[in-house]
A and B are shown apart, each in its own frame.
Chain A
Amino acid sequence: MVRLLSFLLFLVTWWIAALLIGDVKLPAPPAVLKVMLTEAASGALFVNLGATLARVVLSFTLAMALGAAIGYLMGRVKLADKIGDPWLILLLNLPALVVIVLAYIWAGLTEVAAIAAIAVNKLPTAVVTLREGTRALDRSLDEMATVFAIPRGKAFRHVILPQLGPYIAAAARSGLSLVWKIVLVAEYLGRPNGVGFEIGVAFQLFDIPLLLAYSLTFAAVVLVIETVLVQPFELRAARWRPRAA
């Protein structure tokens, strides 16, 4: 109910702003909705959204898996931490644009280059978060597992992983928002489809209704995925912790 009111407030603000600024720079909601419907009817909207989502899923999975493994290693092994740390600082502070442009130059305007570039942008935050999580592991529970001769694999699943759960959730959350932002830039610069590409086209033609139609559909998809997938996962990962009042 509150969410619906919040959405209505957004629509009303937009509409009033459109009336004040004028249709050329900010079209009113019905005009944008009309473009959305024609794009949906032609199928272009779904093709582009699908392409973008596929890139998000692939690069996100790649970065999370790799980042978690590297982060765990750096948290456990001092030497790995010493070797990896300068790379980590470099990658954390390298602008996304640099990575994307270099990837396109080195690997061509290909799908692999785009997905790798997005993954490389997300990787360091996952590494940092998981390294912190690994450092915070409770040694006394490790000792317990050793004393009771719990096999390594089992100990990892039942003793280590639950402690890392909140850190994985945090890395996923911050990583996903980063990927949402960067995927459009990568598409804009070097892919022939996807939401980012369409926004690039709309920018060149100064077609503001088209631009808004794609941006808002994209925002809606992000919102749905966050509420349906990410938030329940976060709750699950932290379910044994005492609830905040």
Chain B
Amino acid sequence: MQLEVDITGKHFENAAGERHDVLAGIKFSLHAGEVGVFVGPSGCGKSTMLKILAGLDHNYQGKVSRPAVARLGMVFQEPRLLPWRSVEDNIRLAAPHIDEKRLSELFAVLELTEHRSHFPGELSLGLARRVALARAFAIDPDFLILDEPLASLDDALAAHLREQIATLVESRSMMTLLVTHNLDDAVYLGDRLFLLSARPARILQEVPIPTPRTRRSASEINHIKADLVRRRLAKI
């Protein structure tokens, strides 16, 4: 299973009729079992790109071929839970075939067990994010999209959730796409990093990380991060 993306352009017109180019050149492929990470300045068009890849926006130039059978799971920037359904019902709505054992496992990994019957309005942002993660993993996706899943969480919580995401990603062979502007997340979770330019976004550079996720030491992570910062500065 493989994702082939070649978006040559995407623009929209605002109310005044002015043309805005959002994406300029996004070409890459992603294999099952791989985590591709997009790193770019905020507002560079990452969310627009994800919308196209998720099949929510068909109005662009270029080609995206995604296996038709691939089940898509997505964690949006905001949790996007149904406020009128409990945590459990929110997940069951997206994943009607999930069995009790798998659901309990997911809740255990994400530490949501005691929040099963709570409503989203009763959860903190960190908890709601975890429910959104649980929902995306509950459908056993072949293609997983994570749109800044750790944004606006405090450092300790983000680090904790990052480990949980790593555990879940290891548990299943799927194409994973992560968008972030946090280098820690990128280096900790990614197999290949794509550095994006400012708007209109194009891929400036592709940086593979050969060491498997589980064997990356803290010093290696710091080394890669320093290297990334250098590359970025060089581009500016």
Complex Cα gap A215–B95 (Å): 55
B74: chain A residues at CB < 8 Å are 144, 147-148
Measured CB to CB, the nearest residue on chain B to A157 is B93
- Contacting pair B139 A148 (CB below 8 A): yes
Complex Cα gap A242–B90 (Å): 19
Q: Is A224 an interface residue (CB 8 A)?
A: no
Q: Is B78 an interface residue (CB 8 A)?
A: yes
- Contacting pair B135 A148 (CB below 8 A): yes
Which chain A residues (145-180) contact chain B, with CB distance < 8 Å? 146-150, 154, 158-159, 162
Interface size on B, residues (CB 8 A): 22
B95: chain A residues at CB < 8 Å are 148
Complex Cα gap A149–B93 (Å): 10
Residue among A146, A147, A154, A159 having the largest count of chain B Cβ atoms under 10 Å: A147
- Contacting pair B121 A240 (CB below 8 A): yes
- Contacting pair B93 A150 (CB below 8 A): yes
Q: A150-B93, A154-B93, A158-B93 are in contact. Are A144 and B119 (CB under 8 A)?
A: no
- Contacting pair A240 B84 (CB below 8 A): yes
- Contacting pair B121 A140 (CB below 8 A): no
Q: Is B56 an interface residue (CB 8 A)?
A: yes
- Contacting pair A240 B119 (CB below 8 A): yes
Measured CB to CB, the nearest residue on chain A to B79 is A144
Place the interface of chain A in its size category.
10 to 19
Would you give the shortest CB distance from A132 to chain B, in whole angstroms? Answer: 19
Would you give the shortest CB distance from B95 to chain A, in whole angstroms? Answer: 8
- Contacting pair B72 A240 (CB below 8 A): no
A140: chain B residues at CB < 8 Å are 76, 78, 80
Q: Is A141 an interface residue (CB 8 A)?
A: yes
Q: Is B168 an interface residue (CB 8 A)?
A: no
Complex Cα gap A138–B125 (Å): 19
B67: chain A residues at CB < 8 Å are none
Complex Cα gap A112–B158 (Å): 65
Complex Cα gap A159–B85 (Å): 10
A141: chain B residues at CB < 8 Å are 80, 82
Contact with A along B76-96 (1 / 0, CB 8 A): 101010111100000001110
Which chain A residues (92-143) contact chain B, with CB distance < 8 Å? 140-141, 143
B80: chain A residues at CB < 8 Å are 140-141, 143-144
Complex Cα gap A140–B75 (Å): 12
B135: chain A residues at CB < 8 Å are 148
Q: Is B54 an interface residue (CB 8 A)?
A: yes
Q: A146-B56, A150-B93 are in contact. Are A158 and B85 (CB under 8 A)?
A: yes
A240: chain B residues at CB < 8 Å are 83-84, 119, 121
Which chain B residues (49-106) contact chain A, with CB distance < 8 Å? 51, 54-56, 71-74, 76, 78, 80, 82-85, 93-95
- Contacting pair B82 A162 (CB below 8 A): yes
Contact of A150 among B55, B83, B94, B121 (CB under 8 A): B94
B94: chain A residues at CB < 8 Å are 148, 150
Which chain B residues (133-170) contact chain A, with CB distance < 8 Å? 135, 139
Q: A149-B72, A240-B119 are in contact. Are A159 and B78 (CB under 8 A)?
A: no
B71: chain A residues at CB < 8 Å are 149
A150: chain B residues at CB < 8 Å are 93-94
Which chain A residues (209-245) contact chain B, with CB distance < 8 Å? 240, 242
Complex Cα gap A144–B72 (Å): 11
A162: chain B residues at CB < 8 Å are 82, 84
Residue among B73, B94, B95, B139 having the largest count of chain A Cβ atoms under 10 Å: B94
**What are 24 A-B interface contacts by the 8 Å CB criterion?**
A140-B80, A141-B80, A143-B51, A143-B56, A143-B76, A144-B74, A146-B55, A146-B56, A147-B54, A147-B55, A147-B56, A147-B72, A148-B93, A148-B94, A148-B95, A148-B139, A150-B93, A158-B85, A158-B93, A162-B84, A240-B83, A240-B84, A240-B119, A240-B121
Q: A147-B56, A148-B139, A240-B83 are in contact. List 18 more A-B contacts (CB 8 A).
A: A141-B82, A143-B51, A143-B56, A144-B80, A147-B55, A147-B74, A148-B73, A148-B95, A148-B135, A149-B72, A150-B93, A150-B94, A154-B93, A158-B82, A158-B85, A162-B82, A240-B84, A240-B119
Give the 8 A-B CB pairs with smallest separation, nearest first: A240-B84, A148-B94, A162-B84, A144-B80, A147-B74, A147-B54, A143-B56, A140-B80
